[in-house]
Amino acid sequence: MRVRAFHQAKWDEEVIFELSTPGERGILVPPAEKAVSDAVGDGISAVPEALRRKTPPALPEISQMRVLKHYLRLSQENLGADLNVDIGQGTCTVKYSPKVNDVLAASSKAAELHPLQDESTVQGALEIFHGLDLFLREVSGLDRFSFQPASGSAAILAMVSIIQAWHESRGEGGTRDEIITTIFSHPSDAAAAAVKGFKVITIHQNEDGLPDLEALKKAVSGRTAGALITNPEDTGIFNPKIDEITALVRRAGGLCGYDQANANGILGVTRAREAGFDMCFFNLHKTFGTPHGCGGPACGALGVTARLADFLPVPVVDRAADGRYVLRYDLARTIGKIRSFHGVFPAVLKAYAWVMSLGEEGLREVANVAVLNNNYILSKVKKIRGASAPFAPGRHRIEQVRYSWEKLHADTGVTTEDVTLRMADFGFHLWSSHHPFIVPEPFTIEPTESYSKAEIDEYLAALEKIAEEAYTDPAKVKGAPYNSVVHRIDPGWFDDPAQWAITWRAYLKKHGHEKIR
């Protein structure tokens, strides 16, 4: 399999402030009409002197085409999934986001809606909220969804908030102060629990790579408020004892929240309800095909069982007896709000359209092919020199695998980071994985259903080539990237308060005497 003779666009583009020419304009604002200025004057005189801006903001002055060109050049220096075989960001589920869904969301019937419009004027939008709610009830087995959380982490925060409110409603708010999670669950499962003041207990993995059930038994007590768990975890290993975990926690009086940010491999195969969860959430920008947008806008669709429905953030969408869709704010024990208004409507709309295109058979096919692709890659990566798949030898994985370059590193000194930088030379992205760094020199591949066998083979060929290079010419790998926009970044400033520069003005203040360019 051939690797591509790739070279990313390199524009050597200025930082936008360097494009400024005093007097240029990028866009004009309509001036007040004569009738208006005759009636009220310049408008500014009504503002007390102390509140009037004295010096204009030092924004750049740039004509329209140059602004456009600047951002188009930057866009060419970015590798979206539409141009990439984006399987190297394991856990992120970077799949195809259908263009037609973007077209629909851009229509003025969606984009130009104000969230506080009269319900009679947004029946279509509310129908879509309600429709996706019904779809996700089927996928999860749970009873009601809220689309207010604007990401997976926000949905985790909402689950923690419900856990907190639930125990308070039962007079146990003061005593149940611990939340259990596992080390291979997303970092936000631990972090969002801490935001609400819970003590976090983290269960580590056993030799199979699964949460240690004995440790969990010891951790559960009358102080257990709940548990937040991913399954399959970042390792891609399905935990067959997940229902034992949820039963343990629930018997102790805790609630169980299922982090299904990524449910891509198990759609229609196994559900939150059968596994004993009280809550779950799906990232619409992962499993349900809405675009990732460089990191949002997004939606963490939050589902709960009927007994928790009254705790959801408000409003929720209901269908009244007469068929009209209504926004309901009267939930008795609502946690209030997690975000303004109703959530990220474009994401809800795109996910609705995605499900409508696939249906029940299609959703199952998504899962089946995602799992097929993943195990195909597993069978190939294991044969790459220096690579391995820790834990659960011989077992199949669900939608992703956390691999390791431990041997490659020991043999050649080449690290995961070196490999990721070299991958950029072939037009690919390989991610170094987030916490926990238990697997040495980790990398995580999640192919989803979106990429063809030929594309997957090309990606694998690049990995194989780089591994070969590591053994024959490690300096080559360590000098990468060569065909990317930039070369090795000097991280020296990033952790030094005297040198870090988070804005251009801070950069000029701190480094103006010795600028980069």
Partner 1 sequence: MSDEKPFVHPYIPNSVPEVKARMLREIGVKSVDELYADIPERLRFRGRMNLPEPLTSESSLKRHVEAVLSKNRSAAECLCFLGGGCWPHYVPAVCDEVNRRSEFLTAYAGEPYEDHGRFQALFEYESLMAELLDMDVVNVPTFDWCQAASTSVRMAGRITKRDEVLVAGTTGPDRLLTMKNYCRGVMTVTTVAHDPETGRMDLDDLAAKFTDRTAAVYFENPSYLGFLETEGRRIADLAHGRGGLCIVGADPSSLGVLEPPSRYGADIVCGDIQPLGIHMNFGGGQAGFIATRDEERFVMEYPSRLFGIARTSVPGEYGFGDVAYDRTSFGVREKGKEFVGTATALWGITAGVYLALMGPRGMADLGQVILQRSQYAMKRIAGLPGVKAPRFRGPHFKEFVVDFSGSGKTVAAVNQALLERGIFGGRDLSIDFPGLAGCALYCVTEIHAAGDIDRLVLSLEEVLR
- Touching partner 1, residues 30-69 (CB under 8 A): 30-33, 35-37, 39-44, 46-48, 50-54, 56-62, 64, 67-68
**CB 285, CB 299: distance < 8 Å:** yes
What is d(CA 291, CA 284) in angstroms, rounded to the nearest whole number? 9
What is the distance between the alpha carbons of residues 402 and 186, in angstroms, rounded to a whole number?
13
Q: What minimum distance in Å lies between the beta carbon of 221 and partner 1?
A: 19
Least Å distance between CB 412 and partner 1? Answer: 20
Interaction mask 366-395, partner 1, x per CB under 8 A:
x-xx-xxx-xx-xxx--------------x
Shortest Å distance, C-beta 408 to partner 1: 19
Q: What are residue 316's DSSP bridge partners?
A: 328
Q: How many C-alpha atoms does 511 have within 13 Å on its Cβ side?
A: 16
Binding span for partner 1 by CB under 8 A among 189-197, 251-259, 402-410, 462-470 = 189-197
Residue among 89, 146, 404, 412 that touches partner 1 (CB under 8 A): 89
Q: Which of residues 6-35 bind partner 1 (CB under 8 A)?
A: 8, 12-13, 15-17, 24-33, 35
Q: Which string of x and - marks every residue 334-353 that binds partner 1 (by CB under 8 A)?
A: -xxxxxxxxxxxxxxx--xx
Output 86 or 441, the one with its CB closest to partner 1. 86
Binding mask 302-341 for partner 1 (x = CB under 8 A): -----------x---------------------xxxxxxx
Our CA dihedral for 453, 454, 458, 459, rounded to 10 degrees, sits at -30
**Applying CB under 8 A, does 221 fall inside the site for partner 1?**
no
5 near partner 1, rule: CB under 8 A: no
Report the candidate in 130, 112, 115 with the shortest Cα–Cα distance to residue 325.
130
Judged by CB under 8 A, the residue of 83, 222, 328, 393 near partner 1 is: 83
Q: How far is the CB of 37 from partner 1 (least distance, A)?
A: 6
Give the range of 111-119, 215-223, 251-259, 466-474 binding partner 1 by CB under 8 A: 111-119
Find the shortest distance in angstroms from Cβ 385 to partner 1. Answer: 19
- Residue found under tokens 């869904």: 101
DSSP character at residue 397? -
Residue 200 contacts residue 190 (beta carbons within 8 Å): yes
Amino acid at site 13: E
Residue ranges of alpha helices (H) inside 321-473 are 345-381, 406-412, 416-423, 453-472
Q: Tell me the closest approach of the beta carbon of residue 175 to partner 1, in angstroms.
A: 13
Say how far apart CA 66 and CA 19 lie, in whole Å.
8
Neighbours of 177 (CB within 10 A): 16
Cα 351 to its chain centre, rounded Å, is 15
Judged by CB under 8 A, does residue 187 bind partner 1? yes
Alpha-carbon dihedral sign for residues 125, 127, 128, 129? positive
Q: Tally Cβ neighbours within 10 Å of residue 172.
A: 15
Show contacts with partner 1 in window 478-507 (CB under 8 A). 481, 484-495, 497, 500-507
Q: At what angle do helices 416-423 and 453-472 cross, to 10 degrees?
A: 130
* Smallest separation, CB 172 to partner 1 (Å): 13
Count of residues that interact with partner 1, criterion CB under 8 A: 228
For 9, other C-beta atoms within 10 Å of its C-beta total 14
Measured CA distances, 289 to 26, 55, 346, 392 (Å): 35, 46, 12, 30
Tokens of residue 173, six digits? 């708010």
Judged by CB, which is closer to partner 1: 98, or 411? Answer: 98
Q: Strand pairing of 316-319 and 255-260? A: unpaired
Binding flag, residue 475, partner 1 (CB under 8 A): no
Q: Cα separation of 235 and 401, whole Å?
A: 5
Q: Residue 499 Cβ, how far from partner 1 at the closest point, in Å? A: 9
Residue 76 engages partner 1 in binding (rule: CB under 8 A): yes
Asked whether the beta carbons of 90 and 400 are under 8 A apart, the reply is yes
Residue 368 three-state SS:
helix
- The DSSP-derived string for 209-235 is SSB-HHHHHHH-STTEEEEEEESS-TT
Question: For residues 115-144, which are near partner 1 according to CB under 8 A?
Answer: 115-118, 120-125, 127-128, 131, 135, 138-139, 141
**94 lies in the binding site for partner 1 (CB under 8 A):** yes
- Nearer residue to partner 1 within complex by CB, 328 or 395: 395
Please name the residue that has the structure tokens 């065909």: 483
Q: Which is nearer to partner 1, 13 or 278 (CB)?
A: 13
Closest to partner 1 by CB, 275 vs 302, is 275
Which residue of 154, 228, 384, 467 would you call a contact of partner 1, by CB under 8 A? 154
Name the segment binding partner 1 (CB under 8 A); options: 357-365, 403-411, 458-466, 468-476.
Answer: 357-365
Residue 126 C-beta: closest distance to partner 1, Å:
9
Contacts (CB under 8 A) with partner 1, residues 260-299: 266, 268-271, 274-275, 283, 285, 289, 291-298
Stretch that binds partner 1, among 154-162, 215-223, 401-409, 467-475 (CB under 8 A): 154-162
Q: Which of residues 227-256 bind partner 1 (CB under 8 A)?
A: 237-238, 240, 242-243
Q: CA angle at residue 263 from 258 to 265, to 5 degrees?
A: 135
Which of 2, 5, 108, 332 touches partner 1 by CB under 8 A? Answer: 108
As beta bridge partners, residue 260 has 282
Give whichever of 226 and 343 is closer to partner 1, judged by the CB atom: 343
Q: Using alpha carbons, select from 255, 265, 268 the residue that is nearest to residue 224.
A: 255
> Binding to partner 1 (CB under 8 A): which residues in 413-452?
420-421, 423-424, 427-429, 431-432, 434-436, 449-452
Stated as kind and residue range, the H or E segment containing 442 is: strand 442-445
